[in-house]
Every structure is written in structure tokens, then in C-alpha cells.
Amino acid sequence: MDKLLIEGGAQLNGVVTASGAKNAALPILASSILLQDKLVVSNVPHLNDITTMLEILSSMGAFMTFNENMDIEIDTSSINNLKARYELVKTMRASILVLGPLLARFHEAEVALPGGCAIGSRPVNLHIDCMRKLGAKIDTSNGYIKASAKGGLIGADIDFTTVTVTGTENAVMAATLAKGQTIITNAAKEPEVTDLIKCLNLMGAKISGLGTDTLIIDGVDQLHSANFSVMPDRIEIATYLTAVTMTGGDITIKGSQPKLLDIVLKKLGDAGAKIEKNNNSINLKMNETPIATDISTAPFPHFPTDMQAQFISMNSIAKGKAEVIENVFENRFMHVQELIRMGGDIELKGNTAFIKGNIGGLKSAPVMATDLRASASLVLAGLVASGITKVDRIYHIDRGYERIEEKLKLLGAKIDRISE
């Protein structure tokens, strides 16, 4: 099993290019099911979750080709299997994103109940409820969601009781081919949702309200082929910027969209980082110990839950005390015990972590990743800890960070991937 070995103490300096956003690429790849034509998707990150989605599409009968730039051309005209098998779905919760497109185009779907990171309750009932509102009949026996909509889906009013990113994406995709108009309220406003909608509109969908919590979808008879480039990964970008805020140094990330990171950049500025941004790049300089910075997670445009773990690592070596409040997932502090093993002074009370900056710094230790963002926080801790830190179960990090050890090594980190 692969592990990362990290020798702490090196500053990070240099230039890297942002990868495409996994959380935008996954629903965009799933949306290809809506077509009876080809979708060409570029700037797709090379990640395990992407491979899983492509395997699911392939198992349904889709054909994929790759050009020299690694653009993916997906031809779903010959899909003949409407089942997403458990063996593929179990490793990734985003697999449920094929439910809406299958129902919209084929009026039938059979999708295994998904698995993925154990970071709290991510109920599929929100997905099922919106499909029922669109006219589908759903049965959830034997570990599968079996859905049918004879005659096709019908536009409806969908009001989400809880903001859900994948639920919004599934509902939008299903509604694109539904008869009549669908209005989605309390929709997720995340940039990745907007990226999906931009792709769908390029394919001929009629969706308005981009970037707001109310989306209006006028159903169309069919979509057409398109070429689309996936947005940059704002969480990957924010993770590397946080790493440099911890280690010190000077980094420029190309291919960024700074406006998508306003709240994170503000908090890194509060921690002492000097930040310059233009239309498509961010420069961060840091030459002092970071200042402890409070955060409270919430859906976009507020502080992202996917950066909570990395900021706990930063606060563990910062000057002063900080409170980190997790409002999105109820079980997303599993990395805290590993950071404590490295010398972090962290106390948990309910959904709040109270952190006292460790003046003496963190110490290396063997640690174990428990989910995607937890693994990133441990890598960041290893970059500043004295000694050599071994991070186990890094298959989690490979789900969301493209070649993380290569990019960090390019910036000067002493990090290697080993197999044991």
C-alpha cells in the first residue's frame, strides 16, 4: 500500500498550475449520458474518482477516446445498460450523479446505493425525493435505487430542505429533458454547480439563475454535442496556499480563478500571508509564523468545509488560539486525533475545535488518513513537523489531489511516495 514520507522544515517556493476541479468534472462527465452524441471534456484531473466515473460510463456502453492533450471524448449514443453496479459505485458517493441523467434520457435507472468517505451523513433521500417530484417511481430494495418514469419526467417545483450540491446537480440534469418547466429553490450555489450548468447550456439546455439559489430549467427535447473545459480546483489551490502560509515561501498558482476563493484568501491574509491576484493567477508570500485564525464552515460563498482540516493544521502551529466550527458535516474531525499525535493542542467540543498554537512546533509521527481532506491536513502538518512523517492510507488523497507529491516536490518539499 502506498504511503507518503515527508521530511519537514523546507520552505515552498515556485510556480504550479491548478488542476481541473474533480467536483465539477464528475457531474459534467455524468451529464454526457443525456446526449445521443459526443461530449468532449478538457482540463479533467487524473484522479481515482474520475477513473471510477469513466468506468461506470463504460460499463453502460459508452465509448471514450483521449487525445494528446488528455481531453476526453465521450460517446454515449450506444448506451445499452442502465445499471450502475455496486462494485463500482461503492467507492465513490458521486456515482449517484448518473441517476438523474439516466432517468431523463432513458426513463429508467438502477443505481447502487453509494459509498465513499465516512465524514458524516450524506443521505440520498434528497436525490430520491426530487426524482419523485419529477414523476419517477422509486424502489430502494436490495441496496439499489430502482427508478422508472414511463412517458418521461415532468417539470416540477423542487424546494430542497437542506442545501445539497450533488442533489442540486442531479435535479438539474434530470430536469433538462423533462417536459415543461422545473423551478429549484434553495439550490446549491457552489461554483462547481454553476460549471455543470454552463456545460449543460452549451449542450442546448435552457437553465437560468446561475450562481443563485433559484434555478429555472425549461425542458428541451434533446441536447447536442459540445466541447467544455472544466474549471480549476479551488480546494486544491487553497490547500497549496495554506501549505505555503505554514511553511513560509513564495508561490504562484497559475490557472486559478481568485474570485472563487475570496473567503479563503481573506482568512489566509488574516493569518499574515501577503496575497496578490489577477484574472487567472494567485501569488502568496509568507515570511513569518502564521497568526491563529477562526473559521466557521458553511455552503458557498462562505468558508468551505473542504478547507476546515487544512486550517486546523495551520492553526496548530500558529501564534495564539483559534476556534474552528464545522457546520456542514457532523463527523469531520477525525484528523484531529492524528494531529494531536504530532503535538497539536486541540480540544473538541461538539462541532467546534479549540486550538492553541504549538510554539514548539509539531513533531513527526506515523499518521493515518481517514478521508480526503483529512489526508491533506496531515500532509500539511508533515511539511512543518520536525523529523520524517509517514502518512498511511493515502488512497484517500489520490481521490482529490492530482500528483500531490510531484507538485509539492516541484515547490521544494521533501516528500516521496513509497510502497510497503
Contact (CB, 8 A) for 103 and 315: no
Q: Is 199 a catalytic residue?
A: no
Q: Quick one: which of 4, 39, 15 has its CA closest to 25?
A: 39
Sole residue written with cell 454552463: 198
Burial of 182 (0-12, 13-18, 19+ CB in 10 A): buried
Q: Which of 79, 96, 117, 235 is catalytic?
A: 117
Alpha-carbon dihedral sign for residues 203, 208, 214, 216: negative
Catalytic residues: 117
